[in-house]
Amino acid sequence: MKKIILGPPGSGKGTAASRIAPKRNIVHISTGDLLRENIRKQTPIGIKTKEFLENGDFVPDNLIINLIENRLKERDTEKGFILDGFPRTINQAKKLLEITDIDLLINMDVTEDVIIKRILTRLSCSHCNKIYNTRTIIPRQEGICDDCKNPLIKRSDDEIETIRQRLVIYKEMTKPIINFYKDKLVIKDVICNDLNQTPEETFQEVLDIIEGFEKENSQLEKDI
């Protein structure tokens, strides 16, 4: 169960991945969360990457590949994982297949218009990173995380100019990964253009795809 969830910023991939992981008993590895944690703790990698995140730019490949390579060596990844935010460049995509094998790529397909509306209303917990918004994931107490009771914040890279910049970069650098992986991995698309679709519905769609894929696979194994 080694999966990648790919999609533009604000496509809902982080929210879906964080719900899929406990459900399938695998670990959710978000490079964005890993980086933000390193920045908060002021680790050497956090200090080196802070500015890139604030500007909405990619962290250099060597730093992020190193981070993910170390993370994938940890014991908890043996039961499987879902990668969220990695790979983001063709170079990272190539390197990933040298580090590990991947059985499924879930591609979150969503228009820019929907993304911009989503990101502008997004908040996340300053401590546990749980994501909220003002339409479909409303915290019980305004500005406070339901789970750990810490304050909700707007991420510094969630401003309109930065979002536009991140979308341009996504189109140029990350989207081509789908083509690159086309003949190397199984790819399943999830169309998520309905602004009122709840995270629960998106999660269910992704889960159905994963379960369908696993069923097909176990049938194939039986046939062989």
Number of chain residues interacting with ligand ADP (CB under 6 A)? 18
12 binding ligand ADP? (CB under 6 A): no
Helices 31-40, 44-55: inter-axial angle, 10-degree rounding: 120
Which of these segments, 40-48, 86-94, 106-114, 211-219, binds ligand ADP (CB under 6 A)? 86-94
DSSP state of 73: T
| CA proximity to 186, closest of 3, 20, 12 | 3
Which of these segments, 18-26, 30-38, 137-145, 186-194, binds ligand ADP (CB under 6 A)? 30-38
* String of contacts with ligand ADP for each residue 51-80, x by CB under 6 A: -xx--xxxx----x----------------
Nearer to ligand ADP, 66 or 218 (CB): 66
Nearest distance from C-beta of residue 9 to ligand ADP, angstroms: 3
**Dihedral angle sign, alpha carbons of residues 59, 61, 64, 66:** negative
Residues 104-133 that bind ligand ADP (CB under 6 A): none
Nearest distance from C-beta of residue 167 to ligand ADP, angstroms: 9
Q: Compute the distance between CA of residue 208 and CA of residue 34 in angstroms, rounded to an integer.
A: 27
Does the active-site annotation cover 140?
no
Give the binding site for ligand ADP (CB under 6 A): 9-10, 31-32, 35, 52-53, 56-59, 64, 85-86, 88, 92, 157, 166
Known catalytic residues? 13, 88, 122, 155, 166
